[in-house]
Amino acid sequence: MTPRVLFPSTDSTTNLPAAPITHLPFRRISLPSVPSSSLLSAQHRQSVASFASFDSLPEEPVVKRPKRRSLKRKQSRTPAPEDIAREAKRTKVIREFWDTERSYVQGLDLVHDHFLTPIIASLDSSRPLLTRTELTTIFSNFIDIWNFHHAFFSALTALLHPSLTHLDVPNPNPPPLSALLLSHFPYLSLYTPFITAFPSSISFLSRPPAPFAIFLRTQERDPRCGQLKLTDWLLSIVQRCPRYVLLLKELIHVERREKEGEGEWDRLGKALTLVEKVTSSLNTSLHAHAHTLSLLALQRATLGLPPTLHFVQPGRTLIFRAPLVIDSGGVAIEGPAIGRGRRDRICEFLLFDDILGMARLRSVHSARFPLVHSRGTCYR
């Protein structure tokens, strides 16, 4: 059998016929097809986490780690004995504050209902017990003080005793008082007119008119007065502000002071400063008014003064006043020999900021005088 494949030679010049093409066996080739819609949606789907799926999973057990023991000792929650004693003292002082305020308001009610109301009612009658001027001289602005303390006591009671059924039982844990005191104590300046007029009130009550004197004796015999006179009840009004000072000092002493920030101790100090300022102003007004009255009395009792000379005058201040005794030789004397000589002259020495006055008196009420006069120079 001759081979079908012929290799060409270099010597041949003729074109040989092409070899027949032999086909390989047919094999089916799979071409890529168009992807389905489900496949496309799967490729572009975004992953979304479901929290419900996590809840369905079993929780891992929590492993409790042992706590480390602190080297420091735990502080005991039991209060110290000194704290217990301080709190008991604080409760006692606050209770005393409320008790004294209640007693004071009851005394004001007695003056208002037992004395002032009948006098006011008599003003419209044909025979009034007092004139309106005399009524103002005795009571001044008592109504303002009475109204203020009723409001203050009501607020204090509401703070310390929210339940009005247990007023006689002390509150074992009273709340702070500073906010209430700071809101009410500025109105203590209402005492200034009353205290300024108090000397005139006592002077009038010492020599009352006959009809009013009978009325006073009748009212003061009432058992509700407790054997006290009207002057005693009016004196309790003058003494109320100094009483506040003592109570606040006791309360500050037992109150714990905060290390940082403004606490109850600091606010109580502000209330004390306010009351002390008002009390000092009241004392100054009372002293100045009493001094003015004494100078007016001396001027009325002194004869021979120039018509233009007045001891009490705007812009004139009394610096020093003392009695002075001059013997027959013109020398001021002191000690046991004062007033024994028949020719001793008893004078009143008045030193103002602009004038120097000396008034001769007829009698001496004291055996010792603090002033010695010699050659025109004054010594004390």
Residues 285-312 have pLDDT tens digits of: 777 777 777 777 777 777 777 777 777 7
Confidence of residue 331 (pLDDT cuts 50, 70, 90): low
- Of 12 and 267, which is predicted with more confidence? 267
Q: Residues 96-131: pLDDT tens digits?
A: 999 999 999 999 999 999 999 999 999 988 899 999
Reading the block at residue 144, the tokens are 């303002």
- With a CB cutoff of 8 Å and minimum separation 6, the contacts of 254 are 86, 89, 90, 93
| pLDDT score recorded for residue 4 | 57
Q: Give the pLDDT mean for 29-52.
A: 55
CA 225/CA 29 separation, integer angstroms: 131
User: What does pLDDT average to over the chain?
Assistant: 76
Indicate whether 260 pLDDT > 90: no
pLDDT of residue 378: 31
Confidence at residue 309, expressed as pLDDT on a 0 to 100 scale: 78
Q: Is residue 212 pLDDT above 80, yes or no? A: yes
The pair of structure tokens assigned to 81 is 């004995």
In DSSP terms, which residues pair with 351 in a beta bridge? Answer: 320, 356
- Cα torsion 289, 294, 299, 303 to 10°: value is 170
Banded model confidence at residue 202, pLDDT cuts 50, 70, 90: confident
Residue 372, pLDDT score: 32
Alpha carbon 270 to its chain's center: 6
* Residue 169: exposure state from Cβ atoms within 10 A (0-12, 13-18, ≥19): exposed
Number of neighbours of residue 255 by Cβ within 10 angstroms: 22
Q: What is the pLDDT of residues 143-162, one digit of tens each?
A: 999 999 999 999 999 998 87
Instruction: For residue 10, report the phi and psi dihedrals to the nearest 5 degrees.
Output: -75, -20
CA dihedral 121, 235, 170, 80 (to 10 degrees): 160
> What percentage of the chain carries pLDDT values higher than 90?
32
Pick the range with the lowest mean pLDDT from 59-73, 164-178, 311-325: 59-73
pTM for the whole thing? 0.62
Tell me the C-alpha to C-alpha distance, in Å, between residue 57 and each of 50, 51, 61: 12, 10, 12
Is residue 374 over pLDDT 60? no
Mean pLDDT for 169-191 is 87
Select from 253, 236, 245 the least CA-distant residue to 275. 245
pLDDT digits (tens, 9 = 90+) for 21-33: 555 555 555 555 5
pLDDT tens readout for residues 54-98 = 455 565 565 666 666 555 554 556 767 777 888 889 889 999 999
What gap in Å lies between CA 246 and CA 222, rounded to an integer? 32
